[in-house]
Structure 1
Amino acid sequence: MLTKTAVSDEQVVALLAPLGVVRRVAPLSGGLFASVLRADLADGRTVVVKVTGADTSRLLRYEHGVLGTEAAVDRIAHAAGLPVPQVLHLDTTRAHVDGDALVTTFLHGDLWSTLELDEATAAGARRSLGGLMARLHRLARDGDGDRFGYPAPEARLTAATWPDAIAGMVRAALDDAARWGVDLPAGRLVAAVERHHDLLATVTTPRLVHADLWPGNLLLDPVDRTVVGALDAERALWGDPLFELVGADQLGAGAVDADLLAGYREAGGDLGVGDGTPGSGDPDAWRRLRLYRAYFACLLIVEIVPRGYSGDWVAGHVRTARANLQRMLDELDA
């Protein structure tokens, strides 16, 4: 089972010494393999400390180096004025904790996943999220060399073109499946990616994709319930903005939320999927989305084993992910 690194108050004090004197440390709910704490400093600031463990033996390939990815993405997005934490310190020396540590500012707001919103308010929040996505996707990667895919060097999942990046990501997911004894329709998935190479190649500019903008990573304003914070950019990648829809609705297989798309368009963007109903918009956009949904379903199916998930929800979760994978492959074949 994947376990989080234990972090003591004394270790936090040592880690934060370059930033100031620590008055109080408290745990925060965090990700699946990171320890997350809140620290109040003597100068009145509150910071967040995230620590990922040194043991990477139970990570999926794309998860290697995610803390460095989160730091890099937050720096880029914060500089562009997006509502993400500001990076204050990244420590990979492991001198104070048994792992890598990221220190950021503390963002205020109500965690969306903990709220019960009426439909009108929820629709407004989704429209706000669409606007945030459109602003994020204006950020393009500059420079030469490998540009698409997961940016962490440890993952080794970048490529000079989007189809090559997707092919590498799929191969890595299938390798993870074989490693953990998880049965997947590898042949059909690889064939679908190869068959749609030219379609994927129409994506020529690597855009910043958060890839995890679900309510558990979003903060809403306490009054107007618009998105005021986006957290946990550790799974971000450079690629097709359409991929964002998968991370925001990870078990989705049908329509895309119309309010989210409306907010995206209002902010000047267009994802090509029309009003979100399958069959509307650009058929090529829907085919790309189906490929991304199939890939993501593989990740959801495989991660169950190395993470040692348990509970009544697991069987239903896997059934849904496998049904989505089958549906996407069938629709791509059709």
Structure 2
Amino acid sequence: MPEVLSDVAVSPAVRAALAIVVLPLGELTGVELLTGGMFATTYRVTLGDGTRVVVKTAPTDTGRLLGYELDLVRTEALVYALAANRPELLMPRVLLTDFTRSILASDVLVASHLDGVPLLGRSTPTGEPAADQPGLQHDLGVFMARLHTISGADFGYPNRAAGLSASTWPEAFGLMVGALLADADRWGTAVPTAEIRAALSRHRAALAEVSVPVLVHTDLWAGNLFVHAGTGRLTGVIDTERAIWGDPLFELVGADPFGRGPAPAALLAGYASAGGALPLGTPTGDVRLLLYRLYVALVMVVEIRPRGYSGDWVAGHRAAAEGCLRAALDALI
């Protein structure tokens, strides 16, 4: 669960700006800074009638953003809006937005506060990670299949400011990879650029088999899931800012970014029970899954410097991400 800091952690100026932002919903009577995320800044605001809402703001230092990260709060608002009439998608409701950047120096999204508790860090009474429980994995598979029934007009990132969308999946995915390689060069991060480009070119036909751009969350790890405190079953999904229009297979990597093995059987069973079908075990499907493992690993490697990660954990994180990148490249023969 993200650490919750008290009102004293929020400056008077920010508190005053937040009060203006939420005024159409009610008077601000309390605000807490929610920490634990590595991109946006998030506050839990209490209104005069006791209602709690979540206010999310984008980073103001756009010079440190990766190419795909432009206007991500707008993407989150878009996805929540697409799910507004689909309660089975378990997402917050958009209460209001402010994209003028006149009250706060960034885009602002105000969303409903979800019931349940964060999955991250929870364990079962026997000490097993709650995220690994078959019931939760089944629920996650059902959620994925339902989300993937929403289709779009183009492939790639919805945030048009990034310029990473196209009419075909090979073109869009190529733009996405190319943007990350440009970010790596800009930040002086060594990555095997030639190998990555060669793998992408070699397997373009596998990408071309994806003809319908469906909505993919891409970040369904435990930190973005809420569960029932008693049963441990899935009750909510947040942080859709990195959503794309793309291949449903991409979702499996986002849910397990450091994974290299098969997806959990319970997750796949849940996906199938909701009417979904994934081309796992097919030559082209397996190739695409490796390409998405390559992409997510590349994101994790490249973002280290612009995010300014620090601490004892960074070396291990970098090594793990680089290991995933190398494993994917070696398998993409």
TM-score when scaled to structure 1? 0.91
The one-letter code matched in structure 2 to 1:173 is: L
Greater Cα offset, 86-95 or 199-208:
86-95
- Partner of 1:223 in structure 2? 230
- Partner of 1:196 in structure 2? 203
Distance 2:37 2:45 in 1: 17
Distance 2:174 2:41 in 1: 32
What's the offset of the Cα at 1:95? 2.1
Q: In structure 1, which of residues 180, 204, 207 is the aligned counterpart of residue 214 of structure 2?
A: 207
For the Cα contact (< 8 Å) 2:206–2:285, is it kept in 1?
A: no
For the Cα contact (< 8 Å) 1:218–1:231, is it kept in 2?
A: yes
- Partner of 2:28 in structure 1? 22
Distance 2:21 2:36 in 1: 19
Superposed CA RMSD: 1.6
Distance 2:129 2:98 in 1: 43
What secondary structure sits across from 2:63 in the alignment? coil
Q: Does 1:136 align with 2:136?
A: no
What's the offset of the Cα at 1:102? 0.5
The one-letter code matched in structure 1 to 2:85 is: A
What secondary structure sits across from 1:43 in the alignment? coil
Q: In structure 1, which of residues 245, 255, 265 is the aligned counterpart of residue 252 of structure 2?
A: 245
For the Cα contact (< 8 Å) 1:30–1:36, is it kept in 2?
A: no
The one-letter code matched in structure 1 to 2:139 is: S
The one-letter code matched in structure 2 to 1:292 is: Y
What secondary structure sits across from 1:49 in the alignment? strand
Q: Does 1:311 align with 2:311?
A: yes
What's the offset of the Cα at 1:120? 9.5
Q: Does 1:40 align with 2:26?
A: no
Greater Cα offset, 193-202 or 176-185:
193-202
1:79-228 equivalences in 2 (<5 Å): 79-81=85-87, 82-117=89-124, 118=126, 119=128, 122-142=133-153, 147-228=154-235
Distance 1:23 1:311 in 2: 35
For residues 128-154 of structure 1, the C-alpha deviation after alignment (integer angstroms, 9 at most, x for no partner) is 111111111111114xxxx10011012
What secondary structure sits across from 2:249 in the alignment? helix
- Partner of 1:284 in structure 2? 284
For the Cα contact (< 8 Å) 2:150–2:214, is it kept in 1?
A: yes
Aligned residue pairs total: 318
What's the offset of the Cα at 1:325? 1.1
Identity of matched residues, %: 46
What's the offset of the Cα at 1:123? 1.8
Unaligned segments of structure 1, at least 5 residues:
274-280
For the Cα contact (< 8 Å) 2:122–2:129, is it kept in 1?
A: no
Q: Which aligned runs of 4 or more in structure 1 are off by greater than 4 angstroms?
A: 118-121
- Partner of 1:77 in structure 2? 83
1:317-328 equivalences in 2 (<5 Å): 317-328=317-328
Distance 1:22 1:173 in 2: 40
